[in-house]
Structure 1
Amino acid sequence: MFGWVRRGFRRAYERVLSREIDDGPTHVAIIQDGNRRYARKRGDDAPDGHRAGARTTENVLDWCEELGIEELTLYAFSTENFERPPHEREPLFDLFEDKLYEFADAERVHDREVAVRAIGEVDMLPDRVRDAIDYAESQTGDYDSFTLNIALAYGGRAELLSAARDVCRDVESGVLSPDDVDVEAVDRHLSRQPVRDVDLIIRTGGDERTSNFLPWHANGNEAAVYFCAPYWPEFSKIDLLRGIRTYESREKSWQRTRTERAVALVRAVAEVEFEDAKTVAGRLREQLPSSGADEVSAELAKRTDETAD
């Protein structure tokens, strides 16, 4: 009886949250924390927790499709995880190998045209895992409807350091001019990277830190971050919807700040040179959402009236 009531309440709450969401994120990245703690809580071994987490991953893929998310990046194994003892690492490698082959052959992956990719220092992984990566990427490489990035042997600082070294070598050899070192130049030297910048990072398990995850693609894009308490195997659609709600709230706040700055800039320029203010206002309107563009136009009209007086 109570279980039925709880399920009914959760479905109703999902509908409420879904109605609150407008234009959600395009790229969500998730730090899947808490698999081992989930297993300990249930009296199981760590591999049992990771297998339970893999089932959650399959659910999340379904939810992303429902919500129109186009790219998902999962932090599965960091470079620091190599420090774990072999009896913990090897079952994980077994799981990665099995799931990569499973995903590569799954009908729903091909029906939905999901591109499965690995990002990170994959050369550090065992041969059997690398072979599975090659197979999954070759089987799904022509798809572009949805991108699933699996971060394996990933470390954000190491990724940026490697790119910086490559850029320095290009400058030293004359392939690249120092004046041409820009965002695009760094992007070109980031191997096995996501397709899009990250809009939202979610971390499960209760810790409030991003753990060296996608610093270039997330922090550079000022991604929203949502921390939640459930362990990864317990992560639900409600948790995902709450994360998206956090993203939308932050996005609206950011757009509000941009609009206020734009209006202030038009006001400041108009006090000195009105013709310049019209030029600035025109450029700003192109970069703002319609509501922000309207406010800039209103400010310019106000300054026009004051000038006429």
Structure 2
Amino acid sequence: MKKDGRSRINWIFENFVTFLRKCTFRVLSVGPIPEHIAYIMDGNRRYAKKQNMIEGTGHRVGFLALMSMLKYCYEMGVRYVTIYAFSIDNFKRCPEEVQSLMDLMQEKIEGLMEEESIVNRYGVRVHFLGDLKLLSEPVRLAAERAMVVTANNSKAVLSICVAYNSTNEIVHAVEKACEEKWEEISLLNASGSGYGLIGLECIEKHERENLIKLIDIEKHMYVSVAPDPDILIRTSGETRLSNFLLWQSAYCYLYSTPVLWPEIGFRHLLWAILNFQRNHFYLEKKRKQL
């Protein structure tokens, strides 16, 4: 009886909290709601050290924090969420730590494919973005399966940046744009109606500056699956972008909170959105000046 009574109290409390959260979302919706929020999930290792936990536990607690943030975002109507899960630079850590993170990543990716997972509950399509060939084979295969399994989900999008940094993304996009343009020129020449020598001279004189356009590069960006972020949130008090979304974050609102990632909660997201709404007019004005 005591157990049943305690369970009922917990159920009532959880539903009351959910009701208050929905009321808060309703109030927030009076102002502009961000379409895309990006997260730099910083501080997992420091949290484990702070709590005297064994190595790796901080990342597991951090995953629970991520699930909460995703739930809040999707309940609020944020369509796109992008997270910085594993940088290319993280491969420089000791092999044991990298392997431990790869194992944890594989475990959590496989969990995303379960029927009761958050991505299926909210109809979320998952993208893994970055130089995926750098991942261990089990993680890469799990990521590819997750993208296939969630391909028909259409209510929201979760982009998980792994083996990623902006430098690599920009170089990749420029290379792909150049390859595409070269193939286009080669096909025209092969058909007999191409540029030829005179055409190439014409390009050099009149089209050299516009041969590769901005749109040619942007469509090959890893993060082209989502619009530019409206808010970029980083935990642990750091104010650096750490080579994350450098191309896409020129006019987004940057919010840094001193809490470590496993400590992030609803109030921090709420404060970030309120500040975004306060600065929205200024940010939109700057964006339109492009």
User: TM class, shorter-chain normalised?
Assistant: 0.7 to 0.9
Q: Evaluate the alpha carbon distance shift between residue 230 and residue 75 of structure 1 in structure 2; reply closer, same or farther with a 3 A threshold.
A: same
Instruction: Map 1:202-221 to 2 at 5 A.
Output: 202-219=233-250
- Partner residue of 1:166? 176
Counterpart contact for 1:93–1:129, Cα < 8 Å? yes
Aligned with 2:61: secondary structure? helix
Name which of 38, 46, 49 aligns with 1:37: 46
1:258 Cα deviation after fit: 8.6
Name which of 269, 272, 281 aligns with 1:240: 269
1:13 Cα deviation after fit: 10
Counterpart contact for 1:17–1:238, Cα < 8 Å? no
Aligned with 1:216: secondary structure? coil
Structure 1 unmatched runs, 5+: 1-7, 262-309
Deviations 1:105-158 (A, max 9, x none): 132422421101101111100001001101111100111211011110111011
- Partner residue of 2:27? 19
| Structure with the largest fraction of helix | 1
- Partner residue of 2:96? 87
Query: Are 1:96 and 2:125 matched, yes or no?
Result: no
Q: Counterpart of 1:19 in structure 2: which amino acid?
A: V
Aligned with 1:65: secondary structure? helix
Query: Are 1:150 and 2:160 matched, yes or no?
Result: yes
1:23 Cα deviation after fit: 1.7
- Partner residue of 2:13? none
1:174 Cα deviation after fit: 5.0
Which of the pair has more CA radius of gyration? 1
- Tell me the distance in 2 between the aligned counterparts of 1:229 and 1:32: 12
Q: Counterpart of 1:55 in structure 2: which amino acid?
A: L
- Partner residue of 1:305? none
Aligned length: 251
Deviations 1:62-91 (A, max 9, x none): 101221100101101000000000121111
Query: Are 1:182 and 2:182 matched, yes or no?
Result: no
- Tell me the distance in 1 between the aligned counterparts of 2:148 and 2:164: 21
- Partner residue of 2:77? 68
Query: Are 1:115 and 2:138 matched, yes or no?
Result: no
- Tell me the distance in 2 between the aligned counterparts of 1:56 and 1:73: 14
Superposition CA RMSD, Å: 2.8
Structure 2 unmatched runs, 5+: 1-15, 187-206
Counterpart contact for 1:75–1:150, Cα < 8 Å? yes
- Partner residue of 2:282? 253
Q: Counterpart of 2:27 in structure 1: which amino acid?
A: R
Deviations 1:26-72 (A, max 9, x none): 01000000000000001112310000000011111110122110010
Q: Evaluate the alpha carbon distance shift between residue 175 and residue 52 of structure 1 in structure 2; reply closer, same or farther with a 3 A threshold.
A: farther
Normalising to structure 1: TM-score of the pair? 0.73
What percent identity do the matched residue pairs reach?
29
Q: Evaluate the alpha carbon distance shift between residue 104 and residue 204 of structure 1 in structure 2; reply closer, same or farther with a 3 A threshold.
A: same
Q: Counterpart of 1:79 in structure 2: which amino acid?
A: I
Q: Evaluate the alpha carbon distance shift between residue 223 and residue 166 of structure 1 in structure 2; reply closer, same or farther with a 3 A threshold.
A: same
1:16 Cα deviation after fit: 6.7
Counterpart contact for 1:14–1:238, Cα < 8 Å? no
Counterpart contact for 2:252–2:283, Cα < 8 Å? no
- Tell me the distance in 1 between the aligned counterparts of 2:237 and 2:266: 17
Normalising to structure 2: TM-score of the pair? 0.78
Q: Counterpart of 2:63 in structure 1: which amino acid?
A: A
Q: Counterpart of 2:236 in structure 1: which amino acid?
A: G
Higher relative contact order (CA 8 A, sep 6+): 2
1:190 Cα deviation after fit: 2.1
Q: Evaluate the alpha carbon distance shift between residue 232 and residue 257 of structure 1 in structure 2; reply closer, same or farther with a 3 A threshold.
A: closer
1:183 Cα deviation after fit: 2.5
- Tell me the distance in 2 between the aligned counterparts of 1:45 and 1:258: 45
Aligned with 1:105: secondary structure? coil
Q: Evaluate the alpha carbon distance shift between residue 14 and residue 130 of structure 1 in structure 2; reply closer, same or farther with a 3 A threshold.
A: same
